[in-house]
Amino acid sequence: MKAVRQLSTSSRILANYGFIGLGQMGQHMARHIYNQLEPNDSLYVHDVSRDATETFVNTVTSASPDRKDCLKALYNISDFVTGVNAQLDYIITMVPEGRHVKGVVQQLIETYQQGAPSTTKTTILDSSTIDIPTSIEVHNYVKQQIPEFDFIDTPVSGGVAGARKGTLSFMLSRPTDESISPSLNTLLKKMGKNIFPCGANHGAGLAAKLSNNYLLAVTNLAVADSFRLAHSFGLDLVKYSKLVAVSTGKCWAAVDNCPIPGVYPAEYRLPVDDGYNGGFITKLTKKDLVLATDAAKFNDRFLFMGDVSRHWYEKACEREDIASRDLAVLYEWLGDMEQQADGTIVDKKDV
């Protein structure tokens, strides 16, 4: 039997949250929710990796033990319906691909339908970066199966550093700031700094996200190329990095995710200073670039830098040591590239 919605003795309605996907981004987003829970709120968490789930719970409760009774690990998707004290207000998904979002949501909806009638509305927020058609399909499925429920695309920008610091930007399929409910605004502000309503039609948030990440992928490749050019001139790359940071070439890939080690203090925790580990990995950048270029073709929009950028990201991801590390590692990878006399570009590590 599904739990009945619990109300506080004051005028405030208790908040019950679910979070699915505790990877590089999700673990920090869920941590910020946990750290800002009110005494009688609840947070339920799950990752496909049981170890990731248990590590998350142990880490956050050790750091802030006063809220540990508000947190519970769940080990099955259906538990977000059957294993909670009260029906959840919001369930956030942060998973790799559209097929994962689709599978999670279908299991949630089917479990809800097998139980007692819902006593309140549950809103599913998908912060994953997936293809727009799948997101629209899932949204329509939710509204058809349980009309009072909602499924909103809420992708984020800011990278792992933004997730860690709680400064993410959220992009929503909502027409105006006023159309974002106070409870949703409160939840998003626990994890991020900026909330952008991108349009009334479902998929508008993802459209903004893919456009943004297309720009990220292209500029990241250009930054790697620029720093390799500076290297060929024999410039001091630490000094060059600081020059770019206050000049017209300034951009996120050159400054916030600088590809040159030792430029910024250790407390900035840039991936480059940890062997390009711990950031937004190259193969996920490639994934977003593929989604953006495919979406552009579906939208009859020609991208001048689309195919060439996609080619080089796909080439880079043929090497697992590049694909599995932060996207700034393209600077390292370009150092392994060599142009032969006939104009052919080869990876020296393959020769």
Residue 288 phi/psi, 5-degree rounding, is -65, -35
What does the pLDDT look like over 179-220, one tens digit per residue? 999 999 999 999 999 999 999 999 999 999 999 999 999 999
**What class does CATH assign to 16-201?**
alpha beta
Q: What size, in residues, is the chain?
A: 351
pLDDT of residue 347: 86
pLDDT of residue 117: 63
pTM of the model: 0.89
Supply the mean pLDDT for the chain: 93
Domain ranges of the chain: 16-201, 208-347
- CA 232, 235, 236, 237 dihedral sign is negative
Q: What's the pLDDT band for 13 if we cut at 50, 70, 90? A: low
Task: With a cut of 90, say whether residue 4 has pLDDT above it.
Answer: no
What does the pLDDT look like over 268-277, one tens digit per residue? 999 999 999 9
**Residue-wise DSSP of 93-161:** E--SSHHHHHHHHHHHHHHHHHSSPPSS--EEEE-S---HHHHHHHHHHHHHH-TT-EEEE--EESHHH
Q: Which residue has the tokens 């908040």?
A: 15
What does the pLDDT look like over 80-98, one tens digit per residue? 999 999 999 999 999 999 9
Report how far residue 167's alpha carbon sits from residue 182's, in angstroms, rounded to the nearest whole number: 19
Q: What's the pLDDT band for 161 if we cut at 50, 70, 90? A: confident
Q: State what percent of residues in the chain have pLDDT above 90.
A: 87
Please give the CATH topology (third level) of the domain spanning 208-347.
N-(1-d-carboxylethyl)-l-norvaline Dehydrogenase; domain 2 (1.10.1040)
pLDDT of residue 116: 63
Report how far residue 115's alpha carbon sits from residue 98's, in angstroms, rounded to the nearest whole number: 26
pLDDT of residue 340: 80
- CA 45, 28, 134, 175 dihedral sign is positive
- CA 45, 15, 128, 107 dihedral sign is positive
Map residue 26 onto helix, strand or coil: helix
Mean pLDDT computed over 245-262? 97
Tokens of residue 96, six digits: 């790799």
Residue 300 phi/psi, 5-degree rounding, is 55, 40
